[in-house]
Chains A and B, each alone.
Chain A
Amino acid sequence: MAGTFDPCVWCEEVLQPYLDRELSETERAEAQAHLDACGYCSKRYRFEASLRQFVRMAAIEEMSPDLKQKLSELRTPLL
């Protein structure tokens, strides 16, 4: 139905700004009130938060000791 406000649709739209702490106080409180009452949305919010952690962990690859050595060798030699 056109013009009908669906809080779950709205919550999906503000998921990222919510987690990024970009929402205004009022918007944040509105989202929070909905999340406290809605299992469907709160599950998806928790998933998003875990996903971000997971992406971070998965995407991190440490540099090789070789490279570290090469970078040190780029330093200006002390006279």
Chain B
Amino acid sequence: MTESPDTEGRQIAIEARDRVRFEEEALELADQVYRVARRLVRTQEEAEDLVQETYARAFRSWRSYTPGTNLRAWLLRILTNLNIDRGRRAQRTPDMEPIEEGDYYLYNRLEETTRENPDEERVIERLSQDDIVSALSEVPHDFRDVIVLVDIGDFSYQEAAQILDIPIGTVMSRLHRGRRILKQQLAETAVGEG
């Protein structure tokens, strides 16, 4: 039995509606997708290319998205895969295998070099936005990807694990170690080498 032209027409209409809905929802998330992309790569231009490629691919393969699941994570998964495939991830600096300092290291370094009796607020004021951005870009990419997804993208460990296709334990250990490396970088940027 062949479908009547009416049924076929209805199918096309439903598909068109679903597609429009998908595209609208995806575009509403673009700001958040861009924020993550911007910190995964070095330059604004690379981030813009990456986000465009991600959306082009997402719009092509929208049928493989399951409605009702986390669309933001689905988009970020496309984005991180594209980023890894194209080898665009900002490369770590060659001599970057820092001796791992503890979690108090940055505070201690800043406190040492703050004259008056420091409180947390005053200590943090010594860091500039540029300090943060450059310190983050110096964190080796495996660690940085996780920091960016969890601390900037607000993804849960579970979501980050799915996006990067790594076990949740690896997310946690990279996150913890990555934040320490970040603080060490900040200490070097803000205070200079110990």
| Chain A positions near chain B (C-beta within 8 angstroms) | 12-13, 15-17, 22, 43-44, 46-48, 50-52, 54-64, 67-68, 70-72, 74-76, 78-79
Complex partner residue of A63 from B23, B31, B128, B179, CB under 8 angstroms: B31
CA distance A67 to B182 in the complex (A): 30
Q: How far is the CB of A55 from chain B (nearest CB, A)?
A: 5
Q: Using Cβ atoms and an 8 Å threshold, which residues of chain B touch A52?
A: 151
Verify A72–B48 contact, CB threshold 8 A. Answer: no
CA distance A55 to B52 in the complex (A): 26
Verify A75–B59 contact, CB threshold 8 A. Answer: yes
Verify A58–B35 contact, CB threshold 8 A. Answer: no
Verify A60–B127 contact, CB threshold 8 A. Answer: no
Q: How far is the CB of A77 from chain B (nearest CB, A)?
A: 11
Is residue B106 within 8 Å, beta carbon to beta carbon, of the partner chain?
A: yes
Q: Using Cβ atoms and an 8 Å threshold, which residues of chain A touch B103?
A: 12-13, 15-16, 44, 48
Verify B104–A12 contact, CB threshold 8 A. Answer: yes
CA distance A54 to B136 in the complex (A): 12
